[in-house]
Chains A and B, each alone.
Chain A
Amino acid sequence: MSIIITLDVMLAIRKMQLNELAGRVGITAQNLSVLKTGKAKAIRFSTLEEICRALDCQPGDILKFEPADQEN
């Protein structure tokens, strides 16, 4: 997938544990782990909103777009 999740980077910058973020966002740590490891197929706007609120960041700080075929 071309969308890269950089949640772990933001967590490291904010010095926050995954469990703590899960508690603040209101979802399970397992679900957040699915997102962090890039296994998630979709993210709800409400979840994204809560994550951005908890980490005090923009959606672009945790989501990156990298085209799959970079031949140049």
Chain B
Amino acid sequence: MESIQKSRGTFKQIGQIIFWIAIASTILVPLFIMLCSNPDAFMKVRGIEYNLESLATGERVILSLMFILMPLVIAFGAYHFYKLFALYEKGIIFTKENIQHFNAIGATLILWWFVGVFIDLGRGLIGQHNGISISSFQPIIMLPTLIGATIIQIGRVMDEGRKLREEQELTV
């Protein structure tokens, strides 16, 4: 029992660390892109290097967004992961709060896929403007979306469990 409690605590801490790393990168990397005026500064996005000095303001905004969105999604997921395991640590399982965090984790994985598509499109757009030919987009893998949808479904099953538990508690 104690080891389970301990592992739940570890998961909670990992979630917390990922959350803060994601938040820090959300703020710092785009700031670097927007403010950088060093001609030697390069930014690598999915295997392609861009010279920041050569980018127009609009392109810099798109590149910043490409860097902001993914850490934001990760921070969102990590926050809910942390909150979920904080509840598990307290022994709270079948509650509305738990199910909300569960659904949020599922939604994070679906969002992950959409952000991946956006990054690929942005990468192509900036590459085209800068004379870098990108023959094809990286294969879009739907796996995170499927896992996300499955997690949301499990959340629904847990909601049914919560209703059953509530009913059992109110049976005299």
A-B complex is real:
yes
Residues of B within 8 A of A47 (CB): 172
The total of chain B residues at the interface (CB under 8 A) is: 5
The A/B interface has a contact count, at CB < 8 Å, of 23
A65 to B47 alpha-carbon distance, docked (Å): 71
Residues of B within 8 A of A35 (CB): 172
- Interface residues on chain A, size class: 10 to 19
In the complex, chain B residues 154-172 whose Cβ is within 8 Å of any chain A Cβ: 166-167, 170-172
Residues of B within 8 A of A44 (CB): 171-172
Question: Does A55 belong to the interface (CB within 8 Å)?
Answer: no
A31 to B166 alpha-carbon distance, docked (Å): 14
Question: Does A34 belong to the interface (CB within 8 Å)?
Answer: yes
Question: Does A9 belong to the interface (CB within 8 Å)?
Answer: no
Q: Contact residues of A with B, CB < 8 Å?
A: 27, 31-32, 34-35, 39-44, 47
